[in-house]
A and B are shown apart, each in its own frame.
Chain A
Amino acid sequence: MRTKHVASFALLALAASTIAAGPAPRAGSVSGTVTFTGTPPKMMKIDMAKEPSCEKQHPTPVMTESVVTGPGSTLANVVVYVSAGDQPGPAPSATVRYDQKGCEYIPHVAVMHVGQPLEIYNNDQTSHNIHPLAKANPEWNKSQPAGSPPIKATYDKPEFIAVKCNVHPWMHGYFAVLATAHFATSDGNGKFTIPDLPPGKYTLIAWHERFGTQTQEVTVGESEAKADFVFKALPY
């Protein structure tokens, strides 16, 4: 009796997988522009005089990056991701790379799937310490002298984690750990595209480190869906 059940289940599963493996629905995408209203805070010049090996890599002073704006009141470094509506999948096996170069974090926001491998590189001639200030995930703090191998890490829970280097207090970045593989970061013109989304209804969240989050529902068909986000900027 029990064996019979299992067998019929297996048949059913096989049938289902055959159907699913048929011609896959054409994947659509969501794209849009992130803008802001109001007055954003002024970014400050970073004085790297205490770290000459980094200072000399920058012919013009580096600015802080907590609010990076583009032409036409557009906003960069906004993480847009699917918060509801997509099927949970395994973490992508591709490694997310986070670089320390010229005493800056590149990219400013590293976006990754829960469980996705992360590698942190020190390209500088100075010692950094990587201190992601995680709360939902364990907080750790590791030194990385010049020339040492990359630090490998993964995060198990979705969280936006501020990253800092205590040796160089101007260094600030973020790890965006998401429970979805469908995400994008707005570029210098505020533009983003989330590719490869099967047709369906989704909830999108746009996150900015200073201005919080915006939520939007979107329906993806076989063509490109649009979703623009507008953040309210506060000067401080």
Chain B
Amino acid sequence: MKRSNPVAVLVSGLGLCLLASGTAPLGAQEARVDGMQGNAGAGKQYYRRYCIGCHGKEGDGSGENAQWIDPRPRDFTIATFKCRSTPTGTLPTDADLFHAITRGFVTTNMPPWGPLTRQVRVDLVAYIKSFSPRWKTQGPGTPISIPAETPANMESILRGRELFQKMECWKCHGPAGHGDGPSASTLTDSKDNPIRPYNFSSGSRFKCGETNEDLYRIFMTGLDGTPMPSFADNIQPQDAWDLVHFLRTLQPLPTPEAAAWHAWLPAHAGELKPIGPDQGGQ
């Protein structure tokens, strides 16, 4: 067997190290979104400019502004994220984090960062991933598969209404989706801070998006770190669209689902069994 010269190995190793340090600092994490590559070393400077005030130097959500903010800024060191395309308990994809930065979190202090260039946002994703060791030992989860949307007709909406009752969504979100269910006032997030369930009658965007597909993803993946669980084990993919269609009728928005519902309801209100333990909703 050919023996390699230890001096040569050392020298070439050093050279590699130098080369690597020229492009990325040691231990740097990378991110990839739609073919664009992000670099934690580059992301760090943007983080220190745009994010550090709330999320803190160590990424633990204890920046100088954090004490004034409710809900509290995300703690990146535990790598638990609300808005994921991946199953509960798994890490989000780089694209999930990218979309969260881009979209911001409505009804919180986190603004949309769309004005930053795509490259800056992808670099930020890479840097955010450097705060938790979980990214070094685990890959992101496999995104849940979402079948093509079924027709948003009255049959679908009514099946969705039955799911809303059966899955006991009303326990927190209230019989009419006003966020006033019997458990609503007791909810806390995983850091024991009080948290409110989404009030559908507010008509606001969801924290994790605004499309029907975003809504599908929210209850099938759950919002980790919050009381909102994953229903992936209990709702079949083909049935999940029914729940999406019903939930849209609870919002004061000009959606096709709401239009179908309000056209149907006056003639059929008496046929509906009330939602909740005994008294009605809607």
- Which A residues have a C-beta under 8 Å from some C-beta of B? 50, 52, 126-127, 129-131, 133, 135, 138-145, 148-149, 151, 166-169
User: Across the two chains, which residue of chain A brings its CB closest to B166?
Assistant: A145
Kindly list chain B residues whose C-beta atoms are within 8 Å of the C-beta of A143: 167, 222, 229-231, 233-234
User: Across the two chains, which residue of chain B brings its CB closest to A137?
Assistant: B89
From known contacts A135-B78, A166-B172, A168-B183, infer whether A141 and B167 are also in contact, taking CB-CB under 8 Å: no
Kindly list chain A residues whose C-beta atoms are within 8 Å of the C-beta of B182: 50
Assess the B227–A52 pair: CB atoms within 8 A.
no
Kindly list chain B residues whose C-beta atoms are within 8 Å of the C-beta of A126: 168
Kindly list chain B residues whose C-beta atoms are within 8 Å of the C-beta of A135: 78
Q: Is B171 an interface residue (CB 8 A)?
A: yes
Q: Is B156 an interface residue (CB 8 A)?
A: no
Kindly list chain B residues whose C-beta atoms are within 8 Å of the C-beta of A168: 183
Contact with B78, one of A129, A131, A139 (Cβ below 8 angstroms) = A139
Within residues 9 to 24 of chain B, which ones have a CB less than 8 A from any CB in chain A? none
Bound CA–CA A140/B166 (angstroms): 22
B189 to chain A, nearest CB (A): 9
Q: Is B251 an interface residue (CB 8 A)?
A: no
Assess the B230–A142 pair: CB atoms within 8 A.
yes
B221 to chain A, nearest CB (A): 10
From known contacts A52-B277, A127-B171, A141-B222, infer whether A166 and B233 are also in contact, taking CB-CB under 8 Å: no
Bound CA–CA A27/B200 (angstroms): 62
From known contacts A138-B90, A139-B190, infer whether A145 and B78 are also in contact, taking CB-CB under 8 Å: no
Binary interface encoding of chain B residues 218-253 relative to chain A, with 1 for a CB under 8 A from any of its CBs, else 0: 000010111111111110000000000000000000
User: Across the two chains, which residue of chain A brings its CB closest to B197?
Assistant: A166
From known contacts A127-B171, A151-B233, A167-B172, infer whether A141 and B183 are also in contact, taking CB-CB under 8 Å: no
Bound CA–CA A135/B79 (angstroms): 9
Bound CA–CA A129/B231 (angstroms): 9
Give the size of the chain B interface in residues (CB under 8 angstroms).
Answer: 31
Assess the A141–B171 pair: CB atoms within 8 A.
no
User: Across the two chains, which residue of chain B brings its CB closest to A143?
Assistant: B229
B64 to chain A, nearest CB (A): 25
Q: Is B130 an interface residue (CB 8 A)?
A: no
Assess the A142–B171 pair: CB atoms within 8 A.
no
Bound CA–CA A75/B244 (angstroms): 49
Bound CA–CA A143/B172 (angstroms): 13
Assess the B88–A140 pair: CB atoms within 8 A.
yes
Known: A135-B78, A141-B89. 15 other contacts (CB 8 A): A52-B277, A131-B227, A131-B229, A139-B89, A141-B88, A141-B228, A142-B232, A143-B222, A145-B167, A145-B234, A166-B183, A166-B229, A167-B171, A167-B172, A169-B186
From known contacts A167-B183, A169-B183, infer whether A145 and B168 are also in contact, taking CB-CB under 8 Å: yes
A152 to chain B, nearest CB (A): 10
Kindly list chain A residues whose C-beta atoms are within 8 Å of the C-beta of B89: 138-141
Assess the B90–A142 pair: CB atoms within 8 A.
no
Assess the B224–A140 pair: CB atoms within 8 A.
yes
Kindly list chain A residues whose C-beta atoms are within 8 Å of the C-beta of B277: 52
Can you sample 25 A-B contacts with CB below 8 Å?
A52-B277, A127-B168, A129-B227, A130-B229, A131-B190, A131-B227, A135-B78, A138-B89, A138-B90, A139-B89, A139-B224, A139-B225, A140-B87, A141-B222, A141-B224, A141-B228, A141-B230, A142-B229, A143-B233, A145-B166, A145-B168, A149-B233, A167-B168, A167-B171, A169-B188
Contact with B229, one of A50, A133, A141 (Cβ below 8 angstroms) = A141
From known contacts A52-B277, A167-B172, infer whether A139 and B80 are also in contact, taking CB-CB under 8 Å: yes
Bound CA–CA A143/B234 (angstroms): 8
Kindly list chain A residues whose C-beta atoms are within 8 Å of the C-beta of B80: 139
Assess the B233–A142 pair: CB atoms within 8 A.
yes
Q: Is B187 an interface residue (CB 8 A)?
A: yes
Binary interface encoding of chain B residues 151-182 relative to chain A, with 1 for a CB under 8 A from any of its CBs, else 0: 00000000000000011100110000000001
Bound CA–CA A50/B183 (angstroms): 8
Kindly list chain A residues whose C-beta atoms are within 8 Å of the C-beta of B78: 135, 139
User: Across the two chains, which residue of chain B brings its CB closest to A166?
Assistant: B227
Residue picked from A141, A149, A167, most chain B C-beta under 10 Å: A141
Kindly list chain A residues whose C-beta atoms are within 8 Å of the C-beta of B186: 169
Bound CA–CA A52/B87 (angstroms): 32
B244 to chain A, nearest CB (A): 16
Bound CA–CA A82/B266 (angstroms): 67
Assess the B229–A129 pair: CB atoms within 8 A.
yes
Kindly list chain A residues whose C-beta atoms are within 8 Å of the C-beta of B90: 138
Assess the B230–A140 pair: CB atoms within 8 A.
yes
Kindly list chain B residues whose C-beta atoms are within 8 Å of the C-beta of A129: 227, 229
Kindly list chain A residues whose C-beta atoms are within 8 Å of the C-beta of B232: 142
Within residues 202 to 229 of chain B, which ones have a CB less than 8 A from any CB in chain A? 222, 224-229
Bound CA–CA A131/B166 (angstroms): 20
Bound CA–CA A72/B222 (angstroms): 46
